[in-house]
Amino acid sequence: MLLEIQDVRGGYGHGDVVKGVSCSADSGEILCLLGPNGCGKTTLFRLLLGTIPLTDGTICIGGQDTRQLSARELAGLIAYIPQYHNPIFAYTVMDVVIMGRASHFSVFDAPKSVDREAAFAALEKVNALELANQKYTSLSGGQRQLILIARAICQAAKVFVMDEPAANLDYANQQLLMDVIVDLAQKGYCVVLSTHSPEHPASVGSKVLLMREGKVEGFGPPAQVLTSENLEAVYGIEMDVVTVQDRYGTRRTICLPVKKPRQ
């Protein structure tokens, strides 16, 4: 198993926000974190990335305990893709992607031809090669997400952590982004993403981690975890989970908030 999280606890110095979370994901899998605001999704990401320390438990990537790794070694295993990124300077897309190679050379080194080749290859993987010479600040939200994914690919990490990657995108770009994420998993990457939409794990997830108040409410395949009972327990509202068939015959799962009509 590439990513193993065992009984992890941690927070910000005033008690644990994440309270005994265990889950796992392998190469080629998409692990979706789902739950209401304040349930601990972002804190779990920070524990994963090593930006805040564990109170207890272990996180292993490729069999290596992340607490035993240097920042450079950890960057070679896990990459963070933020929800939104707005740089101060008008870097070109190529410059932004090459920044993913920072862990591969020292602060005083200039990028080499091998770094530029890696950047071109990363852009090609997300079908954004034509954007290489454009200013990053001129791109749409959907295009920026693609470039941030390319930067993570250029980092040569095995695990991608995405914090609500579709939050600022319109509906069409959300679907395009989900297609890219599925493609990344098919290429062998392990993707861990948080979302507020139950349809995302239902449509693209290999596994879903359902959280409430820092604890695990459910973990496993979406079909087993995304039940009306579990979603109602987490969100505190009535919900139906229905399966429909689209025009091409593909079965789709939809999660619907419902309310009993007044008499």
pLDDT tens per residue, range 33-57: 999 999 999 999 999 999 999 999 9
For residues 209-238, give the mean pLDDT.
Answer: 96
Cα torsion 146, 150, 155, 158 to 10°: value is 80
Strand 215-220 with 56-61, pairing: unpaired
For residues 184-191, give the mean pLDDT.
Answer: 95
Per-residue confidence (pLDDT) for residue 10, from 0 to 100: 96
Going by C-alpha positions, the residue among 31, 24, 17, 30 that lies closest to residue 60 is 24
For the record, the structure tokens of 23 come out as 């889950």
Per-residue confidence (pLDDT) for residue 247, from 0 to 100: 94
Per-residue confidence (pLDDT) for residue 115, from 0 to 100: 87
Strand 30-34 with 56-61, pairing: unpaired
Per-residue confidence (pLDDT) for residue 109, from 0 to 100: 64
Give the C-alpha separation, 247 to 146, whole Å.
Answer: 28
* Rounded alpha-carbon distances, angstroms, from residue 190 to 152, 210, 248: 12, 18, 28
Q: Is the pLDDT of residue 66 over 90?
A: yes
For residues 178-187, give the mean pLDDT.
Answer: 92
Give the least confident one: 52-66, 105-119, 182-196: 105-119
Per-residue confidence (pLDDT) for residue 89, from 0 to 100: 76
- The pLDDT mean for the chain works out to 91
Report which residue type is found at 106: S
pLDDT one-digit tens code per residue, 127-159: 899 999 999 989 988 898 899 999 999 988 999
Give the C-alpha separation, 7 to 22, whole Å.
Answer: 5
pLDDT above 90 covers what percent of the chain? 68
Q: Is the pLDDT of residue 173 over 90?
A: no
pLDDT one-digit tens code per residue, 90-121: 889 999 999 888 766 655 566 778 888 999 99
Per-residue confidence (pLDDT) for residue 106, from 0 to 100: 56
Per-residue confidence (pLDDT) for residue 39, from 0 to 100: 96
Element (H, E) at 121: helix 113-125
Q: Is the pLDDT of residue 62 over 90?
A: yes
Per-residue confidence (pLDDT) for residue 107, from 0 to 100: 53
Per-residue confidence (pLDDT) for residue 156, from 0 to 100: 87
Residues of the chain by 3-state class (helix, strand, coil), percent to 5: 35, 30, 35
